[in-house]
Structure 1
């Protein structure tokens, strides 16, 4: 089955909010063998909505619409949908009582008159009852196509997807199946990677597509196979995965749809190793990334964000003479930071960062983007300087990736 997501709202188009709904929905559709072919963001206008529905129905079997179901005049999704389906809106008494109950439970004696229209639903729709909000979802089946209209509020949308939409989809059989396989690589750029596996990519049949998904410091490869037999697709795709892994070798981190931080948590836990961080210019970003992974407590002991020199001395044991002689952004300082974190937090490994993220603070000897990273391991401490020369946020992100790469390299060497 092919799907398209339509997000409605001027606030998305003008950048006031970021569309995280579509990414979340796509992640829920994938295990159901539903292939997302397009994501469309449009304004809150009747014409735009009707045009988007018309175009989406030509590309996809399932169209999921989020946004524009509120009680205010700028929310016109239901009226546009009624025109598109050549139907009317009816006020559902069960939904209306639910909306009134929400206001009563919130301590309001009366509900604003405009909220009565929250209970307006398409006459040809199955109501997707919204237990956690005032805007009901709607499910419409027409000419072999399926339409789900959902509120744009993330927690309401998620509730309806999990509890209303997925049960509807489970009863729909699709002749087409989709299988995705992933290869996470690091330490090799996208163009070099593409060049190295060019002949393998040339051998791919038409029903298997290779996509390059680059991030700072790493590239994820996704092989997408479309066909009618799931087991055959999996076997066929696996052969190409094995060829690529054999060709790329040491640059392969994982053959799962996971991130670098998840690889580290998994491998450190399996090896019984622990980690700590001592961060200056990255401000705790490395620790935040690691602890975002479920199960990180099995391998992560803690972090010290030592921004000021006094903190580096008092919390990590960096010598005052080191700071005076070499400065905070130096090899000597990050080595002592890493070894101090490892000692104070009782770990096998520790990462330390100190740099000039920008936009100010640089000098001729240490320009903006200069970052020193040290990793202390069981047997050695290694340090390296980087010159990123980007804006502040990019410098921080590159510092995080470089730190994880250095940690991984030392971990592999010592293992």
Structure 2
């Protein structure tokens, strides 16, 4: 069963906003066995929309459309629906009463004609009632394709997908099973991993596919199995994950999409009742940002300092100025003094510190562009390691963040019984 996701809006095409709706819808429908065939972004142009609908007709079972349902003149999706389905707009009483309640009851202002027009829907459509907004969704079938129009506002779209669309698809369609398993790895690149697991990959069943999803410092390996028998699919994935773990157990940190290394570290620290602090220079606070993106991080993260300037390292982290003069600000010695300083300042059990030259220019440091020192403090020791992550700047920062987590996790695991 296939679907196409279409986003409507010039603001997406010119890069003014990022399309997060498509990825959300794709993930949601994949969980119930609907495969996303393609994603399209098109302009707020009536003929363009009509041509897109016509091109998709009978090629996929479902077409999801987001955007263009607002009250202003540039929102033309409903009128275009009427043209494509040879229909007319009528006022839906339930939607009107809901809009009226929102505008007059919550926003405390008189309902305008523009607000009232939100209740206009094609007469042939099945209205998808939007409890969290004023724009209703629409479900319309033409021959072998259902067109599902959803608001572009993310939280309204998500409400309808979760509470209306997914249950409706499950009720009305027989779907195959699509199972995924993601293996999170850190510390080795895509090509090296591929060499290590080549024989294993070549022996995967025909109905199981492997995808490499690399990013700086980490690679996700995603197994996907499709078929009619869930038990067979699940058994195949489980068995092959066990075999894979025997080959690359040294770089695996988790077995789910959400099992990132920062999540694993947080769980380990919580289990051991230990705490963490960060002192960042070249990473600019990104390590702390990633740590605090995990729910419950307040249980183990004491805090951090972004000591970007040299004098801040001295005043806030007690880095010795003579150390900087002798070894330069980008050095193992400075990184170690930074990590000791933050560990003491925050009274934490573990600490991370980074100092480096992310580029594109050298700045105050003499070290080559791409050079980074990462220091780790544990309850028992302090050490620093040197890396060169090349260029561009964004790659250096991302790889530094991931490598810091990798080093920290290895140290924490030493204390796991």
TM-score (norm 1): 0.91
Tell me the residue number matched to 1:44: 44
Shift, 1:203, TM fit? 2.1
Aligned equivalents of 1:374 and 1:46: distance in 2? Answer: 58
Contact 1:37 1:59 (8 Å CA) reproduced: no
Structure 1 pair 79–180 and aligned structure 2 pair: CA distance change class (3 A): same
| Separation (CA, whole Å) in 2 of partners of 1:299 and 1:330 | 28
Match for residue 407 of structure 1?
408
SS at match of 1:250: coil
SS, match of residue 314 in structure 1:
helix
Q: Which moved more, 1:307-316 or 1:59-68?
A: 307-316
Q: Any residues of structure 2 matched to 1:65-214 within 5 Å, and which? A: 65-104=65-104, 105-109=106-110, 111=112, 113-143=113-143, 145-214=145-214
| Residue 336 (structure 1) aligns with | 337
Counterpart of 1:218 in structure 2 is 218
**SS of 1:366 mapped into structure 2:** coil
Report what 2:277 is aligned to.
Answer: 276
Q: Which residue of 1 aligns with 2:349?
A: 348
SS at match of 1:276: strand
Please report how far the alpha carbon of residue 381 of structure 1 lies from its aligned counterpart in structure 2 after TM superposition. Answer: 1.7
Q: Separation in 2 of the partners of 1:28 and 1:322?
A: 54
Secondary structure of the residue aligned to 2:172 is coil
SS at match of 2:50: helix
- How far 1:354 moved relative to its partner? 1.4
CA distance in 1, matches of 2:385, 2:322: 21
User: How many angstroms apart in 1 are the aligned matches of 2:185 and 2:68?
Assistant: 40
- Displacement of 1:219 after TM fit? 0.8
Deviates more, 1:152-161 or 1:259-268: 259-268
Q: Tell whether the 8 Å contact from 1:301 to 1:347 is kept in structure 2 after alignment.
A: yes
1:305 match: 306
Cα deviation for residue 234 of structure 1 reads 0.1
8 Å Cα contact 1:362/1:368 also seen in 2 = no
Deviations 1:338-366 (CA, angstroms, capped at 9, x unpaired): 12222222222110011233333436832
Deviation at 1:224, TM superposition (A): 0.8
Q: Counterpart of 1:32 in 2: which secondary structure?
A: coil
Inter-partner Cα distance in structure 1 for 2:204 and 2:130: 45
User: Which residue of structure 2 lines up, in the alignment, with residue 316 of structure 1?
Assistant: 317
Number of matched residues?
A: 414
Structure 1 segments unaligned to the other structure (5+ residues): none
- The corresponding residue for 2:20 is 20
> 1:324 and 1:399 mapped to 2: Cα distance?
24
Residue-by-residue CA offset, 1:308-347 (whole Å, 9 max, x unaligned): 3343233322223223332322211110111222222222
Q: 1:31 to 1:52 in 2, by over 3 A?
A: same
Give yes or no for contact 1:379–1:414 (8 Å, CA) kept in 2.
Answer: no
Residue 249 of structure 1: how far off its partner (Å): 2.5
Instruction: Please tell me the root mean square deviation across aligned C-alpha atoms, in Å.
Output: 2.4
1:396 aligned residue:
397
Task: Find the counterpart in structure 2 of residue 378 from structure 1.
Answer: 379
1: CA distance between counterparts of 2:287 and 2:23?
23
Query: Match of 1:171, SS?
Result: helix
Alignment match, 1:359: 360
**Contact 2:187 2:403 (8 Å CA) reproduced:** no
Change (3 A) 1:197 1:86: farther
Structure 2: segments with no counterpart, 5+ residues: none
Task: Report if the CA contact (8 A) 2:329-2:365 is conserved.
Answer: no
The 1-side partners of 2:178 and 2:360 are apart by 46
